[in-house]
Structure formats: C-alpha cells, structure tokens
A = this chain, B = another copy of it.
Amino acid sequence: DIARAVAAYNSASAIAETSHQQTWLGKKVLITAGPTFEDLDPVRFIGNRSSGQMGFAIAAAAAQKGAEVTLIAGPVNLDTPTGVTRINVRSAMQMFSQVQAHYASVDIMIGAAAVADYRLAQPSSHKIKKQPNQDELTLTLIKNPDIIAWVAQQVDKPYVVGFAAETQQLADYARQKRLQKGLDMICANQVGDGQGFEVDENALLVMTATDEVALPKQAKYSLAVALLAQLRKQLDITKG
C-alpha cells in the first residue's frame, strides 16, 4: 500500500534528505485518480482497469512535501494518504462536478483518473432482464465531458497536467492529446504487457511545450516523486 511505499521510500538513505524537504509548502494541488464506473443498471456498469495507484502516489508525495492536496477518487480499494483531503465519486459526471467546484482555488490540477469516455444516456433504474429470444444486446453510449480539457479552457485555469494511457504509438498519441486538450503537461504511459494498470511499477514520458523527459520504470511512489520534481521545474519556468 501507499503508506508503506512512502515509508520505504523515505527510509532509502540516498534520497531521504531531499524527500523530507517541504518544497511544496503553500501550493494547492487538485488530483483526480482511479477509474470511473458508468452504471448501465443497478447491477451492471462499464469500468476500466485503473487501480488509482498512480494518482494516490502523487497525492501522497505532494502532501509529504507540504502541498495542500485535494484528491477526487473514483471507486478504488486504496487508503487515503496522510494529510490528503479525499472526495469519493463513482461516475464521470460526479467527478466533473467536484472538479468544477475545486479547480479555481488550486495552483495545479493533475488529472490521473481514467475517466470513462462514454456513458449510457439513461441508466435503467431496474436490472435489465435477459430476454430468452434476444441473442444480441445493443448499448448506445453518449460521450462524457472531457474533464481535463474543460479545466484547460477556463480563463482562471491552474497549471494543468493530464495523463495518456496508450497501448500503441505512445509518444505520438500523447503529444497530440496535449495539444488538442490544451494541457500544460502530459504524462504518457504504456499500458498492456504488464505495465500501467493493475501493476505496482510504471514508467512515464513527461511532455510539455518545451520538454520531453522519460522517467524510467520504477515503483509508483518513487515515480510520483520524480514527476513532482519535473513539475516543480516547469512551474518555476512558467512563473519565472
């Protein structure tokens, strides 16, 4: 779990000295994490494989460094990191509402959640019964709001960091996504082949308008610390 990862990381002597420095004191960070589940009826839903670990690791690392962290979490089995304010949501629409309520009061928004792209227009309030004579079921889904792109379009927007989980053409898709959504930074990660979702380690390609930095495969908490260092550097450039 993340508490153990934080402790293990901080006890690693080579890096302990810097990791305890409160370099994020006074910074307000909003983080989304985990999947969203889109209900089809009271029993069934469309989900995705995000474990929430990456977003929770970033929240833990930022709080550890003194940031004031609000974490909007989809349905995950993770404990709230020490010092983090957590808000639980289930669907993309619920996550969007919470982001709308909080984005304007933070310095940085990090969208690590794997938000469902589509939802059922009208979830059934009763369990959809299987029809014996019906061999196919057609679901018509409508598009969810693009939460991170919406934040990036606001005049009072914070510094906006998005994620791109891709199974192919990682750098190309991510570069394109950063521009399309108007993000300040995008963190791209390869999924599939034992990387990304449902695993403890991850690697990230961190891209801004001026920089592309590859953070090698490592434990998610250690990766979160490395990402925050990159982010801090960019913020200093932006503000400087």
Which residues on A are within 8 Å of B, measured CB to CB? 37, 40-49, 77, 114, 116-118, 125-127, 129-130, 132, 134-143, 165-168, 173, 180, 191-192, 197
Contacts and interface: CB of A to CB of B under 8 A. Distances in A.
A153 to B, nearest CB: 15
A117 B142 contact: no
B43 A114 contact: yes
A121 to B, nearest CB: 9
B138 A140 contact: yes
- The 5 A-B residue pairs whose C-beta atoms are closest, nearest first, are A117-B130, A137-B141, A139-B139, A127-B167, A126-B167
A143 B136 contact: yes
Given A44-B49, A45-B46, A125-B167, 15 more contacts: A41-B167, A42-B49, A42-B167, A42-B191, A42-B192, A44-B46, A45-B47, A77-B77, A117-B130, A117-B137, A126-B168, A132-B180, A136-B142, A138-B139, A138-B141
A140 to B, nearest CB: 5
A182 to B, nearest CB: 14
Given A117-B130, A141-B138, A142-B135, A165 B43 contact: yes
Contacts of A116: 44
A191 B141 contact: no
Contacts of A44: 46-49, 116
